[in-house]
Amino acid sequence: MAYVLEIKPSARKRNAAAGRAVNRDGTRWSFATREAAERWAEELTQAGGELVWVQSAHPRDASDVDGYLLSRLDRGSIADRTRLTAEGSDGEADRPEEATEQDVFPLADRR
């Protein structure tokens, strides 16, 4: 049985190789296994310059897909916070005193 992968907009917008794949052959791809789909995602990351990954489809997704190819639209938000925490001596040095709305709702009002 094939593993059906849907390339989501975040992946094709962030990763040029994923975008070319969609333009060439559409948003749904079929692989022998999930592992094969994950290897392809690694190749796309290398070729397209931005991280993409395979995530299992939501259990309530009524479509015939098994997984999604995703990327992060908000460039570096989690990586930046991780880096800031790692650079601070006690993990607090580079953080604001109070959480901002952006910290609490990092994707709010971004469409």
Question: Is 60 exceeded by the pLDDT of residue 42?
Answer: yes
pLDDT for 26 equals 97
pLDDT for 2 equals 95
Taking only the tens place, the pLDDT of each residue in 62-97 is: 999 999 999 987 655 445 544 444 444 444 444 445
pLDDT for 69 equals 98
d(CA 40, CA 31): 9
Spatial strand order in the sheet of 67-70: 28-31, 3-7, 67-70, 53-56
pLDDT for 85 equals 45
30-47: average pLDDT: 97
Q: What is the mean pLDDT of the chain?
A: 79
Closest CA to 9 of 63, 53, 70: 70
Residue 45: band (very low, low, confident or very high) from pLDDT cuts 50, 70, 90: very high
Q: Give the rounded percent of residues in the chain with a pLDDT score beyond 90.
A: 62
